[in-house]
A = this chain, B = another copy of it.
Amino acid sequence: MKLNIALLAGDGIGPEVIDQAVKVCNAVAKKFDHEINWTSALTGACAIDAVGEPYPDSTHEVCMAADAILFGAIGDPKYDNDPKAPIRPEQGLLKMRKKLGLFANVRPTFTFPSLIDNSPLKRERIEGTDLIILRELTGGIYFGERGRKDNGNTAFDTCTYTRDEIIRLAKLGFEMAMTRSKKLCCVDKANVLESSRLWRETVQDMEKDYPEVTVSYEFVDAVAMRLVQWPSTYDVMITENLFGDILTDEASVISGSMGLMPSASIGLHTSLFEPIHGSYPQAAGKDIANPLATVLSAAMMFEDAFGLKDEAELIREVVNKSLAEGIVTEDLSGKNKAYKTSEVGDWLAKNI
Protein backbone atom coordinates (compact mmCIF):
# COMPACT_ATOMS: atom_id res chain seq x y z
CA MET A 1 0.00 0.00 0.00
CA LYS A 2 1.14 3.55 -0.66
CA LEU A 3 0.89 5.80 2.37
CA ASN A 4 1.13 9.56 1.97
CA ILE A 5 1.92 11.00 5.36
CA ALA A 6 2.49 14.62 6.28
CA LEU A 7 5.05 15.06 9.01
CA LEU A 8 4.59 18.04 11.32
CA ALA A 9 7.31 17.79 13.93
CA GLY A 10 6.66 21.19 15.53
CA ASP A 11 8.57 22.63 18.48
CA GLY A 12 10.52 21.55 21.54
CA ILE A 13 10.87 17.80 21.76
CA GLY A 14 8.54 17.41 18.74
CA PRO A 15 11.29 16.73 16.19
CA GLU A 16 13.07 14.20 18.43
CA VAL A 17 10.02 12.10 19.20
CA ILE A 18 8.77 12.31 15.62
CA ASP A 19 12.12 10.96 14.42
CA GLN A 20 11.62 7.78 16.45
CA ALA A 21 8.08 7.30 15.17
CA VAL A 22 9.38 7.66 11.61
CA LYS A 23 12.00 4.97 12.25
CA VAL A 24 9.30 2.64 13.56
CA CYS A 25 6.89 3.38 10.71
CA ASN A 26 9.60 2.79 8.14
CA ALA A 27 10.44 -0.54 9.74
CA VAL A 28 6.77 -1.52 9.69
CA ALA A 29 6.44 -0.42 6.06
CA LYS A 30 9.44 -2.50 5.09
CA LYS A 31 8.12 -5.56 6.88
CA PHE A 32 4.61 -5.34 5.44
CA ASP A 33 5.72 -4.10 2.05
CA HIS A 34 4.16 -0.65 2.16
CA GLU A 35 5.63 2.46 0.64
CA ILE A 36 5.57 5.54 2.83
CA ASN A 37 5.87 8.92 1.24
CA TRP A 38 6.77 11.38 4.02
CA THR A 39 6.35 15.11 3.46
CA SER A 40 7.59 17.42 6.19
CA ALA A 41 6.14 20.84 6.85
CA LEU A 42 6.52 23.61 9.40
CA THR A 43 4.11 24.40 12.18
CA GLY A 44 4.11 26.13 15.57
CA ALA A 45 6.71 28.49 16.97
CA CYS A 46 9.31 27.29 14.48
CA ALA A 47 6.95 28.25 11.64
CA ILE A 48 6.43 31.70 13.19
CA ASP A 49 10.18 32.10 13.38
CA ALA A 50 10.67 30.94 9.79
CA VAL A 51 7.74 32.49 7.94
CA GLY A 52 5.86 34.60 10.51
CA GLU A 53 2.83 32.34 10.67
CA PRO A 54 2.22 29.24 12.84
CA TYR A 55 0.21 27.31 10.22
CA PRO A 56 1.39 28.56 6.83
CA ASP A 57 -0.60 27.91 3.67
CA SER A 58 2.20 25.74 2.37
CA THR A 59 1.80 23.49 5.39
CA HIS A 60 -1.94 23.37 4.86
CA GLU A 61 -1.39 22.22 1.28
CA VAL A 62 0.90 19.44 2.44
CA CYS A 63 -1.74 18.33 4.95
CA MET A 64 -4.58 18.43 2.44
CA ALA A 65 -2.58 16.29 0.03
CA ALA A 66 -1.78 13.68 2.68
CA ASP A 67 -3.78 10.64 3.74
CA ALA A 68 -2.79 11.23 7.33
CA ILE A 69 -0.74 13.62 9.44
CA LEU A 70 1.74 12.66 12.11
CA PHE A 71 2.20 15.55 14.49
CA GLY A 72 4.75 16.16 17.26
CA ALA A 73 4.05 19.05 19.60
CA ILE A 74 4.00 22.81 19.47
CA GLY A 75 4.65 25.63 21.88
CA ASP A 76 7.60 27.68 22.96
CA PRO A 77 8.13 29.46 26.30
CA LYS A 78 8.93 32.71 24.56
CA TYR A 79 5.23 32.92 23.62
CA ASP A 80 3.96 31.93 27.05
CA ASN A 81 2.36 34.25 29.56
CA ASP A 82 1.88 36.80 26.88
CA PRO A 83 -1.76 36.50 25.93
CA LYS A 84 -1.48 39.75 24.05
CA ALA A 85 1.27 38.61 21.68
CA PRO A 86 -0.06 39.21 18.17
CA ILE A 87 0.93 35.77 16.85
CA ARG A 88 1.01 32.69 19.01
CA PRO A 89 1.73 29.04 18.17
CA GLU A 90 -1.67 27.92 19.47
CA GLN A 91 -3.37 29.99 16.84
CA GLY A 92 -1.73 27.73 14.29
CA LEU A 93 -3.19 24.73 16.04
CA LEU A 94 -6.68 26.18 16.06
CA LYS A 95 -6.40 27.30 12.44
CA MET A 96 -5.19 23.87 11.43
CA ARG A 97 -8.07 22.16 13.22
CA LYS A 98 -10.58 24.43 11.59
CA LYS A 99 -9.15 24.38 8.06
CA LEU A 100 -8.70 20.62 8.06
CA GLY A 101 -12.11 20.12 9.66
CA LEU A 102 -10.61 18.02 12.47
CA PHE A 103 -13.91 17.85 14.30
CA ALA A 104 -13.26 14.97 16.69
CA ASN A 105 -10.35 14.50 19.02
CA VAL A 106 -10.12 10.90 20.19
CA ARG A 107 -8.29 10.53 23.49
CA PRO A 108 -7.96 7.06 24.95
CA THR A 109 -6.84 6.62 28.53
CA PHE A 110 -5.68 3.17 29.48
CA THR A 111 -3.24 1.63 31.90
CA PHE A 112 0.00 -0.21 31.34
CA PRO A 113 0.29 -2.81 34.10
CA SER A 114 4.00 -2.12 34.50
CA LEU A 115 3.43 1.62 34.94
CA ILE A 116 0.34 1.63 37.09
CA ASP A 117 2.28 2.55 40.21
CA ASN A 118 3.40 5.81 38.61
CA SER A 119 -0.14 7.07 38.91
CA PRO A 120 -1.00 9.61 41.61
CA LEU A 121 -4.08 7.46 42.16
CA LYS A 122 -4.17 4.25 44.09
CA ARG A 123 -3.79 1.09 42.08
CA GLU A 124 -7.21 -0.25 43.02
CA ARG A 125 -8.86 2.90 41.72
CA ILE A 126 -7.37 2.76 38.26
CA GLU A 127 -6.99 -0.91 37.51
CA GLY A 128 -9.09 -1.75 34.48
CA THR A 129 -9.40 1.85 33.33
CA ASP A 130 -9.91 1.92 29.58
CA LEU A 131 -11.86 4.94 28.49
CA ILE A 132 -12.06 7.15 25.45
CA ILE A 133 -12.99 10.80 25.50
CA LEU A 134 -14.31 12.14 22.23
CA ARG A 135 -13.84 15.88 22.27
CA GLU A 136 -15.54 18.12 19.71
CA LEU A 137 -12.68 20.11 18.24
CA THR A 138 -13.87 22.71 15.76
CA GLY A 139 -16.80 24.38 17.50
CA GLY A 140 -17.90 25.91 20.77
CA ILE A 141 -16.27 28.79 22.56
CA TYR A 142 -12.96 28.16 20.79
CA PHE A 143 -14.36 29.44 17.53
CA GLY A 144 -17.24 31.70 18.51
CA GLU A 145 -17.37 35.46 18.24
CA ARG A 146 -15.21 37.20 20.84
CA GLY A 147 -13.99 40.69 21.53
CA ARG A 148 -13.90 43.74 23.77
CA LYS A 149 -16.36 46.49 24.50
CA ASP A 150 -16.43 49.50 26.72
CA ASN A 151 -12.88 50.72 25.94
CA GLY A 152 -11.46 47.27 26.46
CA ASN A 153 -12.94 46.94 29.95
CA THR A 154 -15.43 44.26 29.01
CA ALA A 155 -14.49 41.06 27.21
CA PHE A 156 -16.75 38.39 25.80
CA ASP A 157 -16.55 34.97 24.17
CA THR A 158 -19.42 33.09 22.59
CA CYS A 159 -20.04 29.38 22.70
CA THR A 160 -22.13 28.29 19.73
CA TYR A 161 -23.16 24.81 18.62
CA THR A 162 -25.38 23.63 15.82
CA ARG A 163 -27.35 20.42 15.89
CA ASP A 164 -25.33 19.10 12.95
CA GLU A 165 -22.02 19.61 14.72
CA ILE A 166 -23.34 17.69 17.69
CA ILE A 167 -24.75 14.87 15.55
CA ARG A 168 -21.44 14.47 13.71
CA LEU A 169 -19.51 14.04 16.94
CA ALA A 170 -22.12 11.97 18.74
CA LYS A 171 -22.40 9.58 15.79
CA LEU A 172 -18.73 8.72 16.19
CA GLY A 173 -19.35 8.22 19.89
CA PHE A 174 -22.29 5.88 19.35
CA GLU A 175 -20.35 3.91 16.75
CA MET A 176 -17.35 3.62 19.00
CA ALA A 177 -19.58 2.50 21.87
CA MET A 178 -21.01 -0.23 19.61
CA THR A 179 -17.52 -1.68 19.11
CA ARG A 180 -16.83 -1.56 22.83
CA SER A 181 -19.04 -2.03 25.86
CA LYS A 182 -22.08 -0.17 24.45
CA LYS A 183 -21.91 2.51 27.12
CA LEU A 184 -21.88 6.17 26.17
CA CYS A 185 -21.68 9.13 28.53
CA CYS A 186 -22.64 12.58 27.31
CA VAL A 187 -20.92 15.25 29.39
CA ASP A 188 -22.51 18.68 29.50
CA LYS A 189 -23.69 21.49 31.74
CA ALA A 190 -27.33 21.32 30.69
CA ASN A 191 -28.46 22.71 34.03
CA VAL A 192 -26.97 26.06 33.04
CA LEU A 193 -26.01 26.33 29.37
CA GLU A 194 -28.34 26.51 26.40
CA SER A 195 -25.68 24.96 24.16
CA SER A 196 -25.50 22.03 26.57
CA ARG A 197 -29.25 21.65 26.44
CA LEU A 198 -28.97 21.38 22.64
CA TRP A 199 -26.26 18.74 23.10
CA ARG A 200 -28.40 16.75 25.47
CA GLU A 201 -31.56 16.95 23.43
CA THR A 202 -29.71 16.04 20.21
CA VAL A 203 -28.06 13.01 21.78
CA GLN A 204 -31.35 11.97 23.35
CA ASP A 205 -32.94 12.07 19.87
CA MET A 206 -30.17 9.83 18.50
CA GLU A 207 -30.63 7.15 21.15
CA LYS A 208 -33.37 5.45 19.14
CA ASP A 209 -30.93 4.78 16.28
CA TYR A 210 -28.63 2.88 18.63
CA PRO A 211 -31.03 0.88 20.79
CA GLU A 212 -28.22 -1.29 22.14
CA VAL A 213 -26.22 1.61 23.54
CA THR A 214 -26.91 2.71 27.10
CA VAL A 215 -26.50 6.46 27.30
CA SER A 216 -25.92 8.42 30.48
CA TYR A 217 -25.89 12.18 30.89
CA GLU A 218 -23.60 13.75 33.43
CA PHE A 219 -22.69 17.29 34.35
CA VAL A 220 -19.11 18.29 33.68
CA ASP A 221 -18.43 19.17 37.33
CA ALA A 222 -19.61 15.75 38.47
CA VAL A 223 -17.47 14.09 35.81
CA ALA A 224 -14.41 16.04 36.95
CA MET A 225 -14.94 14.35 40.32
CA ARG A 226 -15.82 10.86 39.19
CA LEU A 227 -12.90 10.69 36.76
CA VAL A 228 -10.60 10.87 39.77
CA GLN A 229 -12.72 8.68 42.00
CA TRP A 230 -13.77 5.87 39.69
CA PRO A 231 -12.17 6.25 36.26
CA SER A 232 -12.75 2.61 35.39
CA THR A 233 -16.52 3.15 35.45
CA TYR A 234 -16.33 5.20 32.25
CA ASP A 235 -16.09 3.90 28.72
CA VAL A 236 -16.87 6.17 25.75
CA MET A 237 -17.50 9.81 26.64
CA ILE A 238 -18.55 12.60 24.31
CA THR A 239 -18.30 16.28 25.05
CA GLU A 240 -17.91 19.75 23.65
CA ASN A 241 -14.61 21.47 22.96
CA LEU A 242 -13.79 23.34 26.20
CA PHE A 243 -15.04 20.63 28.56
CA GLY A 244 -13.07 18.15 26.48
CA ASP A 245 -9.93 20.25 26.81
CA ILE A 246 -10.16 20.14 30.59
CA LEU A 247 -11.35 16.56 31.02
CA THR A 248 -8.92 14.96 28.57
CA ASP A 249 -6.04 16.58 30.38
CA GLU A 250 -7.42 15.54 33.74
CA ALA A 251 -7.89 11.98 32.46
CA SER A 252 -4.37 11.90 31.09
CA VAL A 253 -2.76 11.93 34.51
CA ILE A 254 -4.83 9.21 36.11
CA SER A 255 -3.26 6.25 34.35
CA GLY A 256 0.27 7.08 35.37
CA SER A 257 1.22 6.72 31.72
CA MET A 258 0.74 10.23 30.46
CA GLY A 259 4.02 10.11 28.52
CA LEU A 260 2.61 7.20 26.56
CA MET A 261 -0.86 8.37 25.60
CA PRO A 262 -1.59 8.81 21.89
CA SER A 263 -4.46 10.68 20.29
CA ALA A 264 -6.20 11.04 16.97
CA SER A 265 -8.11 13.91 15.46
CA ILE A 266 -10.61 12.77 12.89
CA GLY A 267 -11.26 15.18 10.08
CA LEU A 268 -13.35 15.87 7.06
CA HIS A 269 -10.33 15.96 4.76
CA THR A 270 -7.73 13.93 6.59
CA SER A 271 -6.87 12.89 10.11
CA LEU A 272 -4.08 13.73 12.46
CA PHE A 273 -2.22 11.68 15.04
CA GLU A 274 -0.23 13.12 17.90
CA PRO A 275 1.01 12.40 21.41
CA ILE A 276 -1.02 14.15 24.08
CA HIS A 277 2.04 15.56 25.80
CA GLY A 278 3.30 19.03 25.00
CA SER A 279 6.50 20.37 23.51
CA TYR A 280 8.35 20.07 26.85
CA PRO A 281 10.87 22.79 25.96
CA GLN A 282 13.11 22.12 28.98
CA ALA A 283 14.00 18.74 27.48
CA ALA A 284 14.34 19.83 23.86
CA GLY A 285 17.54 18.77 22.11
CA LYS A 286 18.67 16.59 25.02
CA ASP A 287 17.66 13.25 23.54
CA ILE A 288 15.85 12.34 26.78
CA ALA A 289 12.17 12.73 25.86
CA ASN A 290 9.94 9.68 25.87
CA PRO A 291 8.99 8.84 22.26
CA LEU A 292 6.41 6.16 23.08
CA ALA A 293 3.30 8.36 22.91
CA THR A 294 4.29 9.41 19.40
CA VAL A 295 5.07 5.85 18.40
CA LEU A 296 1.68 4.74 19.73
CA SER A 297 0.07 7.62 17.82
CA ALA A 298 1.64 6.15 14.71
CA ALA A 299 0.03 2.84 15.63
CA MET A 300 -3.35 4.57 15.83
CA MET A 301 -2.60 6.05 12.42
CA PHE A 302 -1.98 2.66 10.84
CA GLU A 303 -5.21 1.34 12.26
CA ASP A 304 -7.58 4.30 11.98
CA ALA A 305 -6.33 6.12 8.90
CA PHE A 306 -5.30 3.13 6.80
CA GLY A 307 -7.22 0.22 8.29
CA LEU A 308 -3.92 -1.61 8.85
CA LYS A 309 -4.66 -3.44 12.08
CA ASP A 310 -1.82 -5.95 12.08
CA GLU A 311 0.71 -3.19 11.59
CA ALA A 312 -0.78 -1.27 14.51
CA GLU A 313 -0.80 -4.35 16.70
CA LEU A 314 2.83 -5.09 15.96
CA ILE A 315 3.85 -1.58 17.00
CA ARG A 316 1.93 -1.94 20.26
CA GLU A 317 3.53 -5.30 20.93
CA VAL A 318 7.00 -3.94 20.43
CA VAL A 319 6.23 -0.99 22.70
CA ASN A 320 5.03 -3.40 25.39
CA LYS A 321 8.19 -5.39 24.93
CA SER A 322 10.36 -2.30 25.37
CA LEU A 323 8.51 -1.54 28.60
CA ALA A 324 8.87 -5.10 29.84
CA GLU A 325 12.58 -5.12 29.06
CA GLY A 326 13.21 -1.68 30.48
CA ILE A 327 14.32 -0.08 27.21
CA VAL A 328 12.85 3.24 28.32
CA THR A 329 13.75 6.89 28.78
CA GLU A 330 14.57 8.46 32.13
CA ASP A 331 10.97 9.33 32.98
CA LEU A 332 10.21 5.61 33.23
CA SER A 333 13.53 4.03 34.11
CA GLY A 334 13.38 4.52 37.87
CA LYS A 335 16.61 3.27 39.36
CA ASN A 336 17.54 1.35 36.23
CA LYS A 337 19.45 2.48 33.18
CA ALA A 338 17.82 5.32 31.24
CA TYR A 339 17.99 5.01 27.47
CA LYS A 340 18.16 7.96 25.14
CA THR A 341 15.18 8.94 22.99
CA SER A 342 17.07 7.83 19.89
CA GLU A 343 18.16 4.56 21.47
CA VAL A 344 14.57 3.68 22.29
CA GLY A 345 13.58 4.47 18.70
CA ASP A 346 16.39 2.36 17.29
CA TRP A 347 15.49 -0.54 19.56
CA LEU A 348 11.84 -0.40 18.57
CA ALA A 349 12.62 -0.25 14.85
CA LYS A 350 15.02 -3.16 15.15
CA ASN A 351 12.43 -5.24 16.98
CA ILE A 352 9.65 -4.65 14.49
The answer to whether A156 and B83 touch (CB under 8 A), given A220-B246, A224-B250, A246-B220, is no
Q: Does A237 contact B (CB under 8 A)?
A: no
Q: Which of B122, B197, B224 is in CB contact (< 8 Å) with A83?
A: B197
Q: Which residue of chain B has the shortest Cβ distance to A150 in the bound complex?
A: B162
Q: Are B157 and A162 in contact (CB under 8 A)?
A: no
Q: Are A201 and B120 in contact (CB under 8 A)?
A: no
Query: Which of A152, A155, A254 lies at the interface centre, i.e. has the most chain B CB atoms within 10 A of its CB?
Result: A155
Q: Does A225 contact B (CB under 8 A)?
A: yes
Q: Which of B88, B157, B196, B247 is in CB contact (< 8 Å) with A195?
A: B157
Q: Does A109 contact B (CB under 8 A)?
A: no
User: Which B residues lie within 8 Å of A190 (CB)?
Assistant: 83
User: Which B residues lie within 8 Å of A245 (CB)?
Assistant: 189, 220-221
Binds B, one of A29-37, A41-49, A140-148, A328-336: A140-148
Q: Are A191 and B153 in contact (CB under 8 A)?
A: no
Q: Which of chain A's residues 318-346 have a Cβ closer than 8 Å to chain B?
A: none
Q: Which of chain A's residues 139-179 have a Cβ closer than 8 Å to chain B?
A: 141-142, 144, 146-148, 150, 152-164
User: Which B residues lie within 8 Å of A142 (CB)?
Assistant: 192
Question: How many of chain A's residues have a CB under 8 angstroms from any CB in B?
Answer: 63
CA distance A228 to B200 in the complex (A): 28
Q: Which of B163, B194, B228 is in CB contact (< 8 Å) with A120?
A: B228
CB distance from A239 to the nearest CB of B (A): 12
Q: Are B120 and A83 in contact (CB under 8 A)?
A: no
Q: Does A125 contact B (CB under 8 A)?
A: yes
Flag A83-94 by CB within 8 Å of B: 1 or 0 each: 110001010001
CB-based closest 10 A-B pairs: A83-B190, A155-B198, A224-B250, A221-B249, A146-B194, A83-B197, A156-B160, A155-B195, A153-B163, A155-B194
